Amino acid sequence: MSKQLVEIYDTTLRDGTQAENFNLSVNDKVRISHQLDELGVDFIEGGWPGSNPQAVEFFQTMHGHIMKHARLSAFGSTRMFANPADKDANLQALIAAKTPVITIFGKSWDIHVFDALRIKLEDNLLIIEESLRYLRPHVASLFYDAEHFFDGFKKNAEYALATLGKAIDGGAERLILCDTNGGMLPQEVQPIVERVQQFIRERGAKVELGIHAHNDSETAVANSLLAVSLGVRQVQGTMNGYGERCGNANLTSIIPALALKMDCDCEAVRRVGTLTETSRLVDELANLPSNKYQPYVGRSAFAHKGGIHVSAVKRNPLTYEHIEPEKVGNIRRILISDQSGKSNVLHKANIFGINLEDDSPIVSAIVRELKELENQGFQYEGAEASFELLMRRALGTQRNYFQLKGFRAINSKRAMDQPPETEATIRLEVGGEEVHTAAMGNGPVNALDRALRKALIHFYPSLQEVELVDYKVRVLSGEHGTGAKVRVLIESRDQYEQWGTVGVSLNIIEASWQAIVDSMNFKLMRDEQRQAK
């Protein structure tokens, strides 16, 4: 018997960013897109170009990037009733995005037609069909999100089905049934999905169904998996369940369930081992703490703490684990044992091209150091360059390119109507030669960065290529107020690649310095590796 084929449609970059305190830059979105592509996501919804200039910039930026598997989708609405399709700014913006997929939504619930659009029911049917029919020749794949479909069906089933009929007539390939308010329970979902499937058969239409669930009743994942079990082809959701109000269906729970429990097939199912990495990268780039208790990908998802559980898990992990954590890229953590983390270190060593044996004492040393650093607040999911440097230092293979002797950063505000002035001074030793430099900057971090480059470029000219593309600060212990420890994450790039580094300290300048130094060291190490080839 063949496996059920499913499609994963990720809307983190659009629906996910509607979550409170969840913000991504265009560079963040590009990086997440490539990670989702590596995960095997089939469709990535990049944003709504008709309402958001950042979405326009994102799609323009992505024109220069190659996706290995995923296809980008632009999102928008049906045309305004007052505008003909060829004059509607929203539809024109969707076409201008030049994505292989366009997804538009329309109203399924008569209360929205009356109160939100303020048009007649038959007028809404008209704009659904005409909008899709106009877009159809301009795009390779065309999806229709039936907004509020389940609520609309419960209120007026005949009209909700009629909206789907018009979407079919307009040329939609997928009809996505949306629980936009997130209030549906699984026992309500099944009969409605089955009625829609009957409706499609009666029309003889060759369209597939999708599900787009919100989590206001804590049932988004359950509703999505139930829909798939009924034959629904496409699942829409977000990484870590981010989204407006209580969030969207969580793809980090849905994908492993499809892969490991429902015997479904898609590219993300085959690449589910990269799921934890993807989940934590999204959190780090959004500058939000990861939910350690999240199923499958949380740090505590496979953590065992003392007593009977630990004893049983050591004999047979199946006694207290529903799956093997490695299958989703996570690790088992025995919280009182120094065995925790070895598999992760060995996995990363293999990625970095570092040869380590399972029983090597260096592995244990790295794990101990990693535990200590994590206790201090370091995290490496978004800073793998710092982690690689840590491993190479433990092996004794990391060259010491320069040695800090001291630095000073001075802020002064000479006039209240003028910005403050910042000067950084650095003393370094490079190859036995002491260097003393100073530089002005836009704040202490920028001044330190400039002073460091000024000191090193004479010895290492390639550092001129390094560009700092992102800088994030996270407070780790808010109860201490302005005296709290902070974690700084820096993204840098050169002509070859982009990398992340991290620093942690009670002093934000010290934490920033740690991340900047790691960034420069990583660049110099990579240059040596390229020259050796």
Half-sphere exposure of 111 (CA within 13 A, CB side): 9
Question: Residue 37: how many CB atoms within 10 A of its CB?
Answer: 22
Whole-angstrom distance between the N-terminal and C-terminal Cα of the chain? 48
Distance CA 307, CA 414 (A): 62
Domain boundaries 4-285, corresponding CATH code: 3.20.20.70
Query: What amino acid occupies position 345?
Result: V
Render pLDDT for 226-258 as a digit per residue (tens, 0 to 9).
999 999 999 999 999 999 999 999 999 999 999
Domain ranges across the chain? 4-285, 302-340
E strand or H helix that includes residue 80: none
Structure tokens at 273: 């081992």
> What pLDDT shows up at residue 338?
41
CA distance 478 to 505: 14
Nearest-angstrom CA–CA distance, 511 and 485: 9
Q: Which residues pair with 72 in a beta bridge?
A: 44
CATH code reported for the domain at 302-340: 4.10.430.20
Identify the pLDDT of residue 336.
Answer: 41
Contact by Cβ (8 Å): 246, 207? no
Question: For position 475, what pLDDT does the model report?
Answer: 87
Q: What is the pLDDT of residues 84-142, one digit of tens each?
A: 999 999 999 999 999 999 999 999 999 999 999 999 999 999 999 999 999 999 999 99
Q: Is the pLDDT of residue 319 over 80?
A: no
pTM confidence score:
0.73
SS3 483: helix
Q: Evaluate whether 304 touches 325 at the Cβ level (below 8 Å).
A: no
User: By three-state DSSP, how is residue 117 classified?
Assistant: helix
Read off the pLDDT of residues 47-65 as tens digits, 9 standing for 90 and up: 999 888 999 999 999 998 9
Integer Rg of the chain from CA: 26
Torsions phi, psi for 237 (to 5 deg): -175, -170
